[in-house]
């Protein structure tokens, strides 16, 4: 989509300023402070421990694995890991929150400042600051669509660990925000700390938007937009919200700091609560939990398990395989794609491998909304197809047909070539006789060609290829034609 980062108003140009708060559900078998399962899609209220239900006298016990996951994420974001952090109670009343408070981290989060490098569609990169990452519990879910008169509560999600990742207000438009979310999701998936699935709600996002006259440095008053559940929705919400603010400011009004709700049906934001109604959460350290003190060894052990992340992998792909910045970016976006690529490229022409993988295979998969995990063609099979081209068994043109057949049947390239008799003709005599036939059938064109109409050469090549059903070796056809004409 083409989205404008600068808004041309009636009185001048305006710049958008955006900061994102992302809630990422931690991949963990059990919840942040209880042993209950986190499995998605279970029967309502079947994964609720006495701690999650806030039965009197129950005490939270920190899940060590969730702490490891948060530290791992912090390291992946090149962020400062705070050796000491504190869990606070954030107090509010809601039916899906049995405790009457959410355990979160307020003034002392587990992870401090870090950075994310955005890969922009034009191949350029930009650095965006991460303010903090903290651990907190998720709330339950209210079900309003089960009964006309009553609402139900499902506590399965209550107490599941979330990482809230807060960005600096460094983003300048919808494209930036999209690039930020794509990159954050990619890093989380590489690390295995969050599945990044926005549709299932395991990655949720609040969008803070303000505008200011282009060229000024002071921040404008922001609105926080909630309920934005896809990258596309984030882009649309930013566009709508920034335009709304510009209109108010140009009419001489002022922006009120408030929380707004994105309405995907209307494509608009609407006020949810203003600053005056803002909650006073009365944060205080949870007396049931000690401060979290991390040993240096604990952090270093986790650091040693970090995989190669997208940024260094991208550099390596550019340097070792000679790929363009764009191609390398596409391949490293998902770890499974990068692995697939490396298996195809091993011992083969790396650029050709990238072309076939990106343009043909990913292109075809994309049409059905699939990614490489669902590929009916394995890395070895795609490699096998490239090998048949490399040793001149088939031409690039035939290879496309073979590829289409592979997609459909999942068969090996070699089998298809064998079954359909697609082997390239490299026998000089055989090609010569086809050439002779074509020249004999087109005596008039031969005349014109010899009279100086050079452009006809392509016509002859086409005729020979057609007569050989695409199987003649194109280089040999060229040579023989040149000789005979
Ligand atoms: P709060 O605690 O009220 O949510 P924070 O200071 O934590 O406020 O900021 C929340 C988010 O708002 C951050 O992502 C930050 O980058 C962003 N933000 C802060 N000021 C602005 C602004 N003027 N315009 C846009 N975003 C902003
Ligand atoms: Mg906040």
Q: Is the pLDDT of residue 276 over 70?
A: no
Within-domain flag for 388: yes
Ligand 1 in reach of 168 Cβ (< 6 A)? yes
Please give the distance, rounded to the nearest whole angstrom, from the Cα atom of residue 257 to the centre of ligand 2: 13
Ligand 1: centre distance to CA 145 (Å): 33
Question: What's the pLDDT at 305?
Answer: 97
Average of pLDDT values for 319-347?
Answer: 96
If you average pLDDT over residues 296-323, what whole number do you get?
Answer: 98
**Can you tell me the distance from the alpha carbon of 34 to that of 257, in angstroms, rounded to the nearest whole number?**
37
- Residues 380-415 have pLDDT tens digits of 999 999 999 999 899 888 999 999 999 999 999 999
pLDDT at 92 over 70: yes
Model confidence band, residue 279 (pLDDT cutoffs 50, 70, 90): confident
Statement to judge: residues 47 and 76 lie in one domain: yes
Range of the domain at 319: 310-420
Q: Which ligand is nearest to the CA of 224?
A: 1
97 domain residue, yes or no? yes
27 compared with 421, residue with greater pLDDT: 27
Ligand 2 centroid to Cα of residue 464, in Å, is 69
Q: Is the CB of 104 under 6 A from ligand 1?
A: no
More confident: 275 or 26: 26
How many A from CA of 168 to the centre of ligand 2?
Answer: 11
Q: Which of 96-100, 187-191, 245-249, 464-468 has the lowest mean pLDDT?
A: 464-468
- CA-nearest residue for atom 20, ligand 1, is 169
Residue 65 and residue 158 share a domain: yes
Residues 295 and 338 in one domain: no
Please determine, for residue 358, whether its predicted confidence score (pLDDT) is greater than 90: yes
**DSSP three-state, residue 23:** strand
222 Cβ below 6 A of ligand 1 = yes
**Ligand 1 within 6 A of 167 CB?**
yes
- Report if residue 469 sits inside a domain: yes
Torsion 344-345-347-352 (CA) sign: positive
pLDDT at 277: 67
**How many angstroms separate the alpha carbon of residue 170 from the centre of ligand 1?**
10
Specify whether 49 is located in the same domain as 193.
Answer: yes
Best substitution site from 166, 242, 274 to test ligand 1's pocket, by max atoms within 8 Å of Cβ? 166
Percent residues over pLDDT 90 in the chain: 83
37-73 confidence digits (pLDDT tens): 999 889 999 999 999 999 999 999 999 999 999 999 9
pLDDT, tens digit, 9 for 90 and up, residues 415-441:
999 998 888 887 888 889 999 999 999
- Nearest ligand for residue 180 CA: 1
Rounded to whole angstroms, the Cα distance separating 34 from 160 reads 9
Contact 35, 159 (CB under 8 A): no
For ligand 1, is residue 19 a contact (CB within 6 Å)? Answer: yes
CA 9 to chain centre: 33
Last-in-domain residue among 272, 302, 332: 302
Average pLDDT, the chain: 94
How far, in Å, is the centroid of ligand 1 from the Cα of 441? 76
Last residue of a domain, one of 286, 302, 318: 302
Q: How confident is the model at residue 2 (pLDDT cuts 50, 70, 90)?
A: very low
Length of the chain: 485
Residue 112, CB half-sphere, CA atoms under 13 Å: how many? Answer: 8
Please identify, by atom number, the ligand 1 atom nearest to the C-alpha of residue 209: 25
212 pLDDT tier (thresholds 50, 70, 90): very high
If asked whether residues 172 and 235 sit together in one domain, one would say yes
Which residues share a beta bridge with 385? Answer: none
Confidence bin at 1 (pLDDT 50/70/90): very low
Are 156 and 180 found together in one domain?
Answer: yes
Residues 408 and 440 in one domain: no
Q: Report yes or no on 261 lying in a domain.
A: yes
My answer on whether 28 and 47 are in the same domain is yes
The alpha carbon of 117 and the centre of ligand 2 are apart by a number of angstroms equal to 22
Check whether residue 380 and residue 479 sit in a common domain: no
CA of 309 to the centre of ligand 1 (A): 28
Give the ligand 1 atom nearest the CA of 21: 14
Does residue 262 lie in a domain region?
Answer: yes
Residue 65 lies in a domain: yes
Lowest-pLDDT choice from 144-148, 338-342, 421-425, 435-439: 421-425
Statement: residue 243 has pLDDT above 70: yes
Tell whether the model's pLDDT for residue 9 goes beyond 60. yes
Report pLDDT for 278.
66
- Domain final residue, candidates 277, 302, 327: 302
Ligand closest to Cα of 22 equals: 1
82 and 181 housed in the same domain: yes
Is any ligand 1 atom within 6 A of the Cβ of residue 208?
yes
Same domain, 411 and 479: no
168 CA closest ligand 1 atom index: 16
Find out whether the beta carbon of 255 lies less than 6 Å from any atom of ligand 1.
no
Domain of 479, CATH number, reads 1.10.10.410
pLDDT at residue number 275 = 66
> Are the C-beta atoms of residues 249 and 53 closer than 8 Å to each other?
no
For 29, residues 6+ apart whose C-beta sits below 8 A from its C-beta are: 37, 38, 65
Q: Judge whether 240 lies within some domain.
A: yes
CA 20 to chain centroid: 16
Element (H, E) at 165: strand 161-167
The burial class, CB within 10 Å (0-12 / 13-18 / 19+), for 366 is exposed
Total domain count, the chain:
3
Answer yes or no: are the C-beta atoms of 23 and 253 closer than 8 Å. Answer: no
Q: Name the nearest CA neighbour of 113 among 163, 66, 167.
A: 167
What's the rounded mean pLDDT across residues 369-378? 93
Output the residue whose Cα is nearest ligand 1's atom 24. Answer: 210
Ligand 1 atom, smallest distance to 210 CA: 24
Average pLDDT of span 370-384? 95
Residue 249 has pLDDT above 50, yes or no: yes
Instruction: Examine the pLDDT at 334 and tell me if it is beyond 90.
Output: yes
How far out from the chain centre does Cα 121 lie?
A: 13
Atom of ligand 1 nearest to the CA of 219: 23
Residue 1 lies in a domain: no
> To test ligand 1's pocket by mutation, which of 19, 113, 165 has the most ligand atoms within 8 angstroms of CB?
19
220 CA closest ligand 1 atom index: 23
Which tokens in the block code for residue 15?
């710049």
Query: Looking at residue 270, what is its pLDDT?
Result: 94
Cα 108 to middle of ligand 2, angstroms = 14
Give the mean model confidence (pLDDT) for residues 146-150. 93
CA of 202 to the centre of ligand 1 (A): 22
Confidence of residue 4 (pLDDT cuts 50, 70, 90): low
Ligand 2 centroid to Cα of residue 21, in Å, is 7
303: left (phi over 0), alpha (psi -120 to 50) or beta: alpha
CB-ligand 1 contact for 337 (6 Å cutoff): no
Residue 49 has a pLDDT of 97
- Tally the C-alpha atoms within 13 A of residue 44's C-alpha that lie toward its C-beta: 10
User: Quick one: 138 and 202 in the same domain?
Assistant: yes
Contact indicator for 23, 164 with CB cutoff of 8 Å = yes
* Cα dist from 196 to 140, 184, 186, 199, 333, whole Å: 19, 9, 8, 9, 13
> Could you tell me if the CB of 169 is within 6 A of ligand 1?
yes
Cα–Cα–Cα angle for 469, 470, 471, nearest 5°? 90
């Amino acid at each position: 989509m083409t989205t404008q980062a600068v808004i041309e108003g009636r009185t001048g140009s305006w710049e958008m300023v955006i900061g994102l708060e992302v809630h990422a559900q931690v991949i963990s078998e059990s919840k942040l402070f209880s042993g209950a399962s986190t499995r998605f899609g279970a029967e309502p209220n079947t994964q609720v421990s006495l701690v999650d239900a806030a039965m009197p006298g129950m005490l939270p016990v920190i899940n060590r694995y969730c702490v490891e996951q948060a530290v791992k994420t912090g390291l992946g974001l090149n962020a400062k890991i705070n050796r000491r952090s504190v869990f606070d109670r954030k107090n509010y009343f809601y039916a899906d929150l049995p405790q009457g408070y959410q355990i979160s981290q307020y003034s002392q989060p587990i992870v401090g400042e870090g950075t994310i490098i955005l890969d922009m569609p034009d191949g350029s990169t930009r650095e965006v600051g991460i303010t903090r990452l903290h651990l907190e519990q998720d709330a339950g879910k209210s079900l309003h669509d089960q009964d006309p008169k009553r609402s139900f509560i499902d506590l399965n999600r209550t107490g599941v660990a979330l990482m809230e990742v807060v960005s600096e207000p460094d983003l300048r438009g919808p494209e930036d925000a999209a690039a930020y979310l794509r990159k954050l999701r990619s890093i989380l998936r590489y690390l295995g700390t969050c599945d990044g699935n926005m549709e299932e709600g395991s990655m949720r996002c609040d969008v803070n938007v303000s505008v200011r006259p282009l060229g000024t440095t002071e921040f404008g008053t922001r609105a926080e937009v909630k309920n934005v559940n896809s990258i596309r929705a984030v882009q649309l919400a930013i566009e709508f919200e920034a335009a709304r603010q510009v209109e108010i400011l140009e009419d001489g009004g002022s922006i009120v700091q408030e929380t707004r709700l994105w309405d995907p049906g209307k494509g608009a934001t609407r006020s949810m609560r203003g600053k005056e109604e803002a909650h006073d959460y009365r944060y205080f350290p949870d007396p049931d939990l000690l401060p979290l003190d991390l040993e240096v060894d604990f952090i270093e052990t986790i650091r040693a398990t970090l995989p190669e992340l997208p940024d260094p992998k991208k550099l390596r792909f550019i340097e070792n395989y000679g790929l363009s910045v764009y191609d390398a970016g596409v391949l490293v976006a998902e770890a499974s794609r990068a692995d697939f690529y490396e298996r195809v490229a091993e011992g083969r022409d790396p650029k050709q491998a990238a072309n076939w993988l990106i343009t043909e295979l990913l292109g075809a998969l994309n049409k059905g909304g699939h990614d490489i995990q669902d590929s009916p063609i394995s890395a070895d099979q795609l490699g096998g197809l490239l090998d048949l081209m490399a040793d001149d068994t088939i031409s690039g043109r035939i290879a496309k047909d073979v590829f289409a057949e592979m997609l459909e049947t999942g068969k090996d390239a070699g089998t298809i070539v064998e079954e359909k008799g697609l082997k390239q003709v490299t026998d000089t005599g055989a090609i010569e006789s086809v050439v002779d036939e074509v020249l004999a059938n087109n005596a008039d064109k031969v005349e014109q060609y010899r009279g100086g109409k050079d452009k006809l050469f392509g016509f002859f090549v086409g005729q020979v290829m057609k007569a050989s059903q695409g199987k003649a070796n194109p280089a040999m056809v060229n040579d023989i034609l040149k000789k005979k004409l």
